[in-house]
Amino acid sequence: MEVIAEHLGESQFEVRARGHKVVCDQPLENGGYDEGMTPPEFLLGSLATCAAYYAAQYIKSRKLRPDGLQVRVTAEKAQQPARLRSFTIEVIAPAVAAEHQAGLTRAAKACLIHNTLLNPPHIETVVRCAALKS
């Protein structure tokens, strides 16, 4: 799995994966043009869409319709080090029987992003600089 973020200027980056492109930017008050989500918003979006995918799969596997399914993710910031401290995943499901609530919760919690955040991966940072021109 790979994504590439390329600097476009100011605080904008184009993020590419498998032929798809999105723009990452900062709000105006942070010196950006507000033409894309911020990195933390992408993280919340990843968690929301992952949980939504698993919830939709649960609903469809029960021969129900996922019409109107939404997942809302919120987070609180913390300092030193700067990070997102806590997340809330809210699954807004279509009209399904109450017996499916526990299953929907299990499904949303089973997503790859949720499990990655609960079990932090090893992260290695490597810097490669272009050769200086003489």
Q: What is the DSSP letter of 10?
A: T
pLDDT (tens digit, 0 to 9) for every residue of the chain, 134 residues total?
999 999 999 999 999 999 999 999 999 999 999 999 999 999 999 999 999 999 999 999 988 888 899 999 999 999 999 999 999 999 998 777 788 889 999 999 999 999 999 999 999 999 999 888 87
Instruction: Assign 3-class secondary structure to 36-81.
Output: CECHHHHHHHHHHHHHHHHHHHHHHHCCCCCCCCEEEEEEEEECCC
Q: What is the pLDDT of residue 66?
A: 87
Whole-number Å distance between alpha carbons of 110 and 98: 20
Write the burial class of residue 103 (CB in 10 Å: 0-12 exposed, 13-18 middle, 19+ buried).
middle
